[in-house]
Structure 1
Amino acid sequence: MTHFHHCRSSLLLLLFLTCCVHGELANGGHQDLPPLLSFKSYNPTATAMESWVGINPCSGSWIGVRCKKGRVIGVFLDNASLVGSVAPLLDLTHVSVLTIRRNSLSGRLPPLDNSTNPMLRHLLISHNKLSGDLSLSLPSLVTLRAEHNGFHGGLGAVSVPMARSFNVSRNMLGGEINGDLSRFPSSSFGGNVGLCGHPLPRCVRAYSALGDSSSISQSPTAAMDTSSVSSSNGGSLSKLVLTALMATGIGNAVLILISVAISVAMFVYVRRKLRSMKDASDSALTFHEEDKVDEKRQKNGGGGGLVVFEGGEDLRLESLLKASAEVLGKGVSGSTYKAVLEDGVVVAVKRLSALQFAGAAGKAFDRHMRLAGRLRHRHVASLRAYCNSSGERLLVYDFFPNGSLQSLLLRGLDWAARKAIVRGAAEGINYIHTFPARPALVHANVKPSNILLDDRGEACVSECGVMRYAANIQQHCVIPRHPPEMFPDRAASGGGGGGGGWHGYAAPELASGGGARATQESDVYSFGMVLLEVVNGGGKDGDGGGEEEEEAMGMVRIGMMCTAEAPEERPRMAQVLAMMAEFM
């Protein structure tokens, strides 16, 4: 009897738990649990999915999973050493971003269309072992990265009219590239021996040359009839020949006239092009011209080794050295001070580290500083003066009373403020990248502490290009405050700036060593890391609801594009601004 009561109690408890689970599912809280658990079953011991426990993938504890209103909208599992099929993840009907690059996933990719994946915008499945045909009809898909797999067949079933980033290179695809896909560069299709058509070499078709045998061989009677007709119409044939010759002559004359017209047009176009190039070249000062400007400024400016720019004409090195100073911050690159001059003017002085910048005494550093002194933009901190003499390297900027983005993230920012800051920083970096200079300017150290806030709370990018002259750029790999689900492979590999772990804000090509120099592409990577940190950290709960969530997901997508591992896959800052403008 006791045993019976015990069994009945167990059954009641099991029934209660089952009802609870089904109740949760019925309420729409965990509809995405089965596909996620099905995918996890291929990798039960994977480090990246150790946190996938419980019945609520939207609890915030599932690393690599992002949710909105109780539904999974993003899965981020790059470089996670995963195997198995990707199909379960594509059963997530609300997923917008799926990035599972550089794993060992295999099998076929199921057909995808608006009925199966209406919310899918970014599909990144490159560097796996996927195979089969590609069948995608997703009008809203923005990104498809499927390179370095084993897909075969043609591209006739691929329709992605809104895609901006598309790559199916290094597969086993064949056939002709259809008209819509031909807008992408040849690098999007390279490594597929069977593919042809624009932008690759055109396809070669074989045509049958066999015709009706009766049209080739004729009977003797027919030949005689033909001969008689030919002789009777000899006069007409001569007229036809004369007419044809006259038409040919007229045609040749017309062609000559057209050729002359084209040559004249090309001459005018090239002359205008050269003139515009000369105008653009004149707007970028040469090194020789910069040296002349520097000599003039040293004569008219502060003297004593202090080179002054617009807004810093009244600065003197003696006044700076005598000013009362307050330490604002210290780092590997040097120390920053708040200096109050005798006349009450407040400036910020960056004193570069003698250890890191021991080799910055040459003309290259001076030339860069003189270019940086010409930067004038509402979102770029203006360099008012600099000193590079007798081992002393000082940079003088306006003082920003509201501090840096780094300090504000620690205190918390509402969503509107975060949007405005990242937008302003993007405009500042884009201005630096498009400034007319030879060679093109690079910031080289984009991070929250170098994004300052003016008295109106607007972002200003500071210290343009300074770190290009540091002795060891790898020492500046500061660790961002990202949630681990954004980069599970890096979070699992440790926190150092060395190989395999976090690169921090520095792009992988810089953090890996080898003497690589900062580029505009590495600036884009650093901005992407800042963008992800601003979106995911240091925020205050707002009441924007779905609109804020949609904007946040848009920011995440842009951040992921900016932090692509290969530099050539990253967008330019102008493109980043265009994408941000779509939803901000």
Structure 2
Amino acid sequence: MHKFSLSLTLLSLIAAVSTAPEPGSLIQLPADAVSLLSFKSKADLNNKLLFTLNERFDYCEWQGVKCLQNRVTRFVLDSYSLRGEFPPNSLSKLDQLRVLSLRNNSLSGPIPDLSGLFNLKSLFLNGNFFSGSFPPSILSLHRIRAVDFSLNNLTGPILAELTSLDRLSCIRLDRNFLNGSIPAFNQSSLVVFNVSSNNFSGSVPVTPVLSKFDLSCFSYNPNLCGEIIHKECKRTPFFENTPKNASSPSPVSQNEDSGNGVVVPSPPSMKRHQKTGIIVGFSIGFFALFASMLLFLATIRKQRRNCHPKAGKLTTENENVTEAAMPAVVEEEEKVGVRSSELDVKKRGQSGNLIFCGGEASVYTLDQLMKASAELLGRGSIGTTYKAVLHNKLIVSVKRLDSCKTKISSGDVFERHMECLSGLRHPNLVPVRAYFQVREERLIIYDYQPNGSLYNLIHGSKSTRAKPLHWTSCLKIAEDVAQGLAYIHQASKLIHGSLKSSNVLLGSDFEACLTDYCLSVLADSSQSNDPEPAGYKAPETRKSHHHATPKSDVYSLGILLLELLTGKPPSQHPYLVPNALPDWVRSVRDDDGGEDNRLGMLIEVASVCSLISPEQRPTMWQVLRMIQQIKESVDLEDHVVDAGSLYS
């Protein structure tokens, strides 16, 4: 009845607005009220806002609304669980609005034209799912002081004209997908600035204002460089700086009469002869250079044939012993002390090069890598992983792809794919540092993660029964994993494709880092005989002809969350309808006591991620926001408890 009466109220209000009032009829609805109702109609699909109008200026008492002289000056709806879009021609008509804050909701779509808010001073839209480009209408808000679009899905460049807004004191654009260069902000009023976790590139402008901000304000933009962030920019060769349309100046002859010092143009005939001579000389030089290059390439190929034997199989002393005894990754990781004398590539023909990714410094050679002391870490679905200790004590992780388990049609395919992966840089991804290939021999070099895998953390050793992790630890790991997956989906348009607990490693600060990401496209699914990863696979991908999608990664994350919360691998998860999952998880756990509500929210995230239908699953960014909202509720409650203790 409440929804029915609310619908009737809205219909009557719309009718009152759309028709001109007759003498003696109801007073026409104020324009500010119309704007607020228009916003609610598209942005409040969950009906969280109870806007009712019995008197002319009741809207000044609505949730989040503050008025001055019956005009809306503040509209603040933070963390109201709003879902929908920010409709155009709604709030943008509140021309007396000073503060607009819609942070920490689930609003999506583009940010509309806000040029009508010419009195706006503070704009907070952070923590939503807004997409599209940076809104150009911000440039018309000459009184604007604070702009916060962080934690959204915005793409494209920042508008350079923002530097002309001389009242700007706060601009936060972190955790989006913005790219291009950073404008030369130099407003003396700017005291808050953050563009971290985007895809910006080029040199950070050296201005007095930008120079005062900490390095963290620019972090996780792998292609940024410059003096401010202490990263040298790549130098462009001189010949690349020469303009394409540059031409030689017209030849002139100078009269050397010291009395006049006049420069006299050459006669037309002399110009023609000089021009002809330049063309002929250039042609001869070009053909000579071309011939020299051909000769040089022929010499290099001959030297390679004469000097470099063929690359062969990576072997270890004990591999023939351990292969039969270690059918699963976890069993191999539990074998301590399985060492090889070296990672020996028996060269049997033309050799390749060790290629470092993304401008990484060549801190070791292929020969040094092959002679490194090595330890077998595990065998995965497409290859074997080793821990390699180099001569300079540098430790790396080397993954050797199994040619029998991959379907790489050519070396070019592998090289292009590795170039894509090398550009992925995020704190929750184990970075690819280098790779090597020759014929069917392929190696991928990662940073070594010292604290093992999430599989070992969850399940412990076989001699002890592992206890489920505390739910707060599960929450922290879930956020790390979701951060990494969301970055992959948005930054590269790729997918992980092989998410499981053994492919989540723990870094030096025990942060969860994804490895083996985006390699599933190289795998030959017909050769897979490992039953454990099948439990992580989404139902729609279990047939060989169906390709994985971002929603497949979401399903795998749901299964991983259940593994985190229960301490049981996917093979031991019962088939349950979503409503039965909370009872099963709680029956396995016995240590969370009064935290039942927030544990329940985390179980709900796992449940919605692991729905059978991919259309019903959320996107990875939506999953991340769910997890972050649980975390924010924990932080808020802890803050209230701490504040209360001051007065106890």
TM-score by length of 1: 0.44
Higher relative contact order (CA 8 A, sep 6+): 1
Instruction: Please report the TM-score for the alignment, with normalisation by the length of structure 2.
Output: 0.40
